[in-house]
Amino acid sequence: MPRPDENPLARVVEKLGERAPIPDKAIAAILQMPYVVKQLYRGDLFVREGATADKCGILTSGLIVCQKKNCEGDRQILSVKIPGDMLGLQSLYLETPDHNIQALTRCRIVIVPSELLKAISDEFVVVRHAISRIMLTEASMLRELILNIGRRDARARLAHFLCEFAVRTGGTDKINNRSFELPMTQEQLGDALGLTAVHINRTLQLLTRDNLIARVGKNIRFVDWDRLQDIADFSTRYLHLEK
């Protein structure tokens, strides 16, 4: 298989491969899809609610979110996509997107026609199982977010977000004392957690004061992972990491 820098669709194969072993024929079919690499800038939309959806893709760098706005224009972020995540899979089966997909930072995506990926998934059982599992895992993460926003206070909510982000970007090993970049503004964090930027700021200070995390700019270090996880009521089950 080509390296991602030779054919960026290799990232798609990798992603699907996390969920099920993909046979060579399917790999070949995926790698042969026509694709477009596109750079997005902060705020750019890849998919617009209510438009027509005929493309999907994969994020290769930067951060993208799914979001919706209420009638007053307040934004609610529904999910944060990290490099390697698929984008707009909904378009394989639904015509009209029910949410926006928007760049949070400058980022790079690889776009393919939904039709083609759908055709491949219709042909190869394993591919469609992998895609189904990805779609269901996305739904599971939405559920956890509902619990997070509906039944946890700001402290637990933010702690939970940090736990999830750390596990998704860096895996489950040696998290204590690990430090990582969180390239989001406090306003974006607020939009992701149903809070205001001001309150995010105060809550970050709270977590810092309680010796749960340490911060230097956008860099965050887990000072006491176990306790943070406890406070966050975090478990990885909903991420469905099992193969």
Partner DNA sequence: CGTTTAATTGAAAGCAGTCAAACTATGTGG
Partner DNA sequence: CCACATAGTTTGACTGCTTTCAATTAAACG
217 is an interface residue for DNA by CB under 7 A: yes
Which residues, in sequence order, are CB contacts of 174 under 8 Å at separation 6+? none
Helices (H), the chain: 10-17, 24-31, 114-123, 125-151, 154-170, 186-193, 197-209, 225-232
Pick from 38, 48, 218, 237: which binds DNA (CB under 7 A)?
Answer: 218
Tokens standing for 4? 């991602």
**Residues 180 to 209 in contact with DNA, rule: CB under 7 A:** 185-187, 190, 194-199, 201-205
Q: Between residues 41 and 93, which has the closer beta carbon with respect to a second copy?
A: 93
CB of 63 to DNA, least distance (A): 13
Binding site for a second copy (CB under 8 A): 49-50, 66, 68-71, 74-76, 78, 90, 92-96, 98-99, 122, 125, 128-129, 132-133, 135-140, 142-147, 149-152, 156, 193-194, 233, 237-238, 240, 242
CB of 155 to DNA, least distance (A): 6
CB of 127 to a second copy, least distance (A): 12
Q: Between residues 129 and 152, which has the closer beta carbon with respect to DNA?
A: 152
CB of 35 to a second copy, least distance (A): 23
Q: Between residues 203 and 229, which has the closer beta carbon with respect to DNA?
A: 203
CB 97 within 8 A of CB 55: no
Tokens standing for 9? 């669709």
CB 114 within 8 A of CB 55: yes
CB of 212 to DNA, least distance (A): 15
Q: How many angstroms separate the CA atoms of 198 and 204, rounded? A: 10
**Residues 144 to 163 in contact with DNA, rule: CB under 7 A:** 153-155, 157
Q: Give CA 47 to chain center in angstroms.
A: 15
CB of 24 to a second copy, least distance (A): 21
Tokens standing for 154? 């700001």
Q: Between residues 201 and 236, which has the closer beta carbon with respect to DNA?
A: 201
Selection from 220, 230, 236, 231 nearest residue 178 by Cα:
220
Q: What is the side-by-side strand order in the sheet with 55-61? A: 36-40, 107-113, 55-61, 86-87
Chain positions contacting DNA, by CB under 7 A = 153-155, 157, 185-187, 190, 194-199, 201-205, 215, 217-218
